[in-house]
Structure 1
Amino acid sequence: MRALLSLLLVLFALPAAAAPALDRLKLPPGFHVAVYSDQVPNAREIALGAKGTVFVGSNDAGKVYALTDGNGDGVADRVRVIASGLQLPVGVAFRDGDLYVSAVSRIYVLRDIENHLDAPPQPEVVTDRLPTETHHGWKFIAFGPDGKLYVPVGAPCNICDPGPDHAKLLRMNPDGGGWQDVARGIRNTVGFDWQPGTKQLWFTDNGRDMLGDDRPSDELNRVTKPDEHFGYPYCHQGDTLDPEFGKGKRCQDYTPPVLKLGAHVAALGMRFYTGSQFPARYRGAIFVAEHGSWNRTQKSGYRVMAVRLDGAKVVAYEPFITGFEQDEKAWGRPADVQPLPDGSLLVSDDLAGAVYRVTYRP
């Protein structure tokens, strides 16, 4: 079948997808990166099943993928499409055998999915009451330590005052009921996780565009109290009033970020690292996938960063994987990070249509 496909590509002059250029990537000494699968177009959020299945959301023809490594060699040997035709099903979250999928205004669930990968069930609607705008409408989702499903609702614009139904993070019961706002003043979070031990919620937030190359910064934030407000659209990066919506406001009235991640880096998925394979300096650290800028004079982001912590205090913000972009040309764009039970780390790349696996062997 592959030989036939190659022949057809030659006959009809259709370009094959370029293989991920892993030789261009730079990691700290002792770390290695390999392709887990290069058959996942527009790969976005990653979720892990109880039986080792790697689920990946995407914006490719509404598809959701299931990746399995049958022989345990660290490479996916099966890639299945388990749902299609959904609206931007970027977010995936696994709980009690079921896979939850975000689709802009809807959350779906695929029941008992790992036992039905070859004949997946029809997606069931959990809720269809989320806003319908697609501008910042695709969603990273995750279950918290409280058993609730956390769902962001981004601002339907670059900069606006959208009212109480947008620019926030909410949570709901697994059946779609019991909605509750968790935090407000969030332009668009596409990554969040709970710190081990404290169970506090941390999240990335993308700063607004069109204020120049170097402001405002994307943010790493921490939720410390109910219904906390993080500034959007009035104050950006904790210290910069918006030229239009900041009039009459004060930045000190809103929660500042724990860390400024850099202007326009497009910080997306983030996870705490709790494994033991990586050196001790990375245990409890946050890995952040920075998708990369789209309108900056010189590109920023296009990397995976490590945020090392001492409790809630940031002690270092340093590159972990770089090389997805050289000379202002990008071949890859990290979208999410997900530690595996063996302590390795998966990284999704929606531009290359791939998922990578990072291991440590000194």
Structure 2
Amino acid sequence: MRIAPKLAFLLLLFQACSSGSESAESTDNAGGQAGIEVPEGFKAEVYADDLGKGRHMASRANGDLYLRLSYPENGESIVALRDSNQDGIVDRKVYFEEIDGGTGIKVHNGYLYFSTDTQVFRRRFNGNELVPSGERELILTLAAQNQHAAKPLAFDDEGNMYVTIGAPSNACQDPSRTKGVAGQDPCPLLESSGGIWKFRASTPNQTFEDGENFATGIRHAVGITWNPNHSKLYAMQHGRDQLHEFWPEIYTAKQSAELPGEEFLRIEEGSDFGWPYCYYDWQKRVKLLNPEYGGTGDSIGRCGNVDLPLMGFPGHWAPNAIEFYNQDQFPVNYKGGAFIAFHGSWNRAPFPQEGYRVVFVPFSGPDPISGYQSFATGFSGLNDQPESPASAKYRPCGLAVGSKGSLFISDSQEGRIWRISYEGN
């Protein structure tokens, strides 16, 4: 299934970087600075702080929020948060689950699902309890990987669970990440990784063999979500690295800093987005052949037959979460649109690192209707171009829409969560 561009004007705005509206400086609950900027009419507050290195979040219908930690805090790797009196301040904070850290976490059909890099578990909620009291059930076990190992989760309305199995590779070279080495053709990694697999959400003790390869040619999609309004799976793909470092005769350092694009995908069963043979040039708006497979920087070849993204973003911004907004608190133009959290780059040197922001993409039906708008910025400190990820004060990683319509953003550096609410007309 090849997704063709629908209207020319949809493509003209891909490089838009801001909404053009005024910004409102955010405050925390103690009256100080929350450290980020959001559009006029919105308010950003620190909802919780110093939680540990946060990854994805899940929101429950009663307003409770759950944060998955990449590393356990005092042996426990999920944080449950409750604002009992709805004053915007967390008054209950409970750490639980003595398992390895991870990324994926979702509330689905009365259960809290959560993943490590190799397993998926769930626990049932009983009533309004903050921490689910049901016994931990092992749903899925997968093989260990040495890179791109995060296992984000999504669920449809028919009892299926979707799990990213990222490719443990940059461009399917052997040896990996080596200058001038051709890619393996066909790439053997695609048999067990480099895509999204579908499993049964309620069947215990599944393994890789119990799953179905739902979509392929996806190097690594950390942000995935099911949009129930249109019964579609959406994802954000991390593009490959090191074009100039490995192929300096083809790509300049500047080209390598901007390419390839980070891809916004709508995924149908059987989709093939072309990795490792192809990458997306967001400036030319075309899939091109990777140099490991004979590409020269403008070669299309076999890439003319793979699926296209809905849109592309500048290279190496590292999209780590996507969340559709289907609540009523925000203005009507946000209804049905998508928020995307960019974790920020590491490999754009000698140019400044980029990303470190949350953007909004307006939708009409199942399709974007224009380019993206920077929604929340300033995470990395005095500017959004740190020298390295380590020098960024905060890095947005997870997103969740609360039961009252606020947007929550988690940070992977200091363990902060922001709550974004709308107070304008």
Report the TM-score when normalising by structure 2: 0.75
* CA displacement 1:69-92 (0-9 Å, x = unmatched): 111112221211121232x32111
What count of residue pairs does the alignment treat as equivalent? 341
**Given that residues 259 and 314 in structure 1 are in contact (C-alpha distance below 8 angstroms), is that contact kept between their aligned partners in structure 2?**
no
- 170, 187, 200: which one pairs with 1:158? 170
2:95 alignment counterpart: 81
Q: How far apart in 1 are the matches of 2:127 and 2:59? A: 10
Task: Find out whether 1:245 has 2:293 as its counterpart.
Answer: yes
SS of 2:214's partner is strand
Which stretch shifts more, 91-100 or 166-175? 91-100
2:392 alignment counterpart: 330
- 262, 270, 286: which one pairs with 1:227? 270
- Counting aligned pairs with the same residue, the percent is 32
Q: How far apart in 1 are the matches of 2:227 and 2:113? A: 22
Q: How far apart in 2 are the matches of 1:116 and 1:284? A: 30
Structure 1 position 281, deviation (Å): 1.4
- 196, 202, 205: which one pairs with 2:237? 205
Structure 1 position 120, deviation (Å): 5.0
Letter in 2 for 1:350: S
Which stretch shifts more, 305-314 or 165-174? 305-314
Q: How far apart in 2 are the matches of 1:223 and 1:275? A: 23
SS of 1:135's partner is coil
1:12 alignment counterpart: none
SS of 2:370's partner is strand
SS of 2:355's partner is coil
* CA displacement 1:192-211 (0-9 Å, x = unmatched): 22335322211100001101
Task: Find out whether 1:36 has 2:47 as its counterpart.
Answer: yes
* CA displacement 1:37-89 (0-9 Å, x = unmatched): 11321111111234332111111226111111111112221211121232x32
Q: Structure 2, unaligned stretches of length 5 or more?
A: 1-29, 173-186, 244-255, 281-285
1:5 alignment counterpart: none
Q: How far apart in 1 are the matches of 2:348 and 2:98? A: 34
**Given that residues 234 and 249 in structure 1 are in contact (C-alpha distance below 8 angstroms), is that contact kept between their aligned partners in structure 2?**
no
Letter in 2 for 1:142: A
Q: How far apart in 2 are the matches of 1:155 and 1:113? A: 37
1:8-19 to structure 2, matched below 5 A, reads: none
2:68 alignment counterpart: 57
Q: How far apart in 1 are the matches of 2:126 and 2:57? A: 15
Q: How far apart in 2 are the matches of 1:266 and 1:246? A: 26
1:126-165 to structure 2, matched below 5 A, reads: 126-128=139-141, 130-160=142-172, 161=187, 162-165=189-192
Structure 1 position 119, deviation (Å): 8.3
Task: Find out whether 1:71 has 2:123 as its counterpart.
Answer: no
Structure 1 position 32, deviation (Å): 0.7
Structure 1 position 134, deviation (Å): 4.0
**Given that residues 99 and 113 in structure 1 are in contact (C-alpha distance below 8 angstroms), is that contact kept between their aligned partners in structure 2?**
no
Letter in 2 for 1:219: E
Measured on the aligned residues, the alpha-carbon RMSD in Å equals: 2.3
SS of 1:47's partner is strand
1:321 alignment counterpart: 376
- 110, 113, 121: which one pairs with 1:97? 110
Q: Structure 1, unaligned stretches of length 5 or more?
A: 1-18
**Given that residues 152 and 170 in structure 1 are in contact (C-alpha distance below 8 angstroms), is that contact kept between their aligned partners in structure 2?**
yes
From the superposition, tell whether residues 208 and 111 of structure 1 become closer, same or farther in structure 2 (CA, over 3 Å): same
Structure 1 position 122, deviation (Å): 5.3
Letter in 2 for 1:108: F
From the superposition, tell whether residues 196 and 118 of structure 1 become closer, same or farther in structure 2 (CA, over 3 Å): closer
**Given that residues 265 and 300 in structure 1 are in contact (C-alpha distance below 8 angstroms), is that contact kept between their aligned partners in structure 2?**
yes
Task: Find out whether 1:300 has 2:354 as its counterpart.
Answer: yes
Q: How far apart in 1 are the matches of 2:92 and 2:81? A: 6
Letter in 2 for 1:33: A
* CA displacement 1:146-198 (0-9 Å, x = unmatched): 23111110001222131310001011112145522211111111112233532
Q: How far apart in 2 are the matches of 1:114 and 1:69? A: 17
The 4+ residue runs of structure 1 with deviation greater than 6 A are none
From the superposition, tell whether residues 318 and 118 of structure 1 become closer, same or farther in structure 2 (CA, over 3 Å): closer
1:255 alignment counterpart: 307
Q: How far apart in 1 are the matches of 2:97 and 2:219? A: 29
2:279 alignment counterpart: 236
**Given that residues 359 and 372 in structure 2 are in contact (C-alpha distance below 8 angstroms), is that contact kept between their aligned partners in structure 1?**
yes
**Given that residues 112 and 132 in structure 2 are in contact (C-alpha distance below 8 angstroms), is that contact kept between their aligned partners in structure 1?**
no
Q: How far apart in 2 are the matches of 1:254 and 1:217? A: 15
**Given that residues 163 and 196 in structure 2 are in contact (C-alpha distance below 8 angstroms), is that contact kept between their aligned partners in structure 1?**
yes
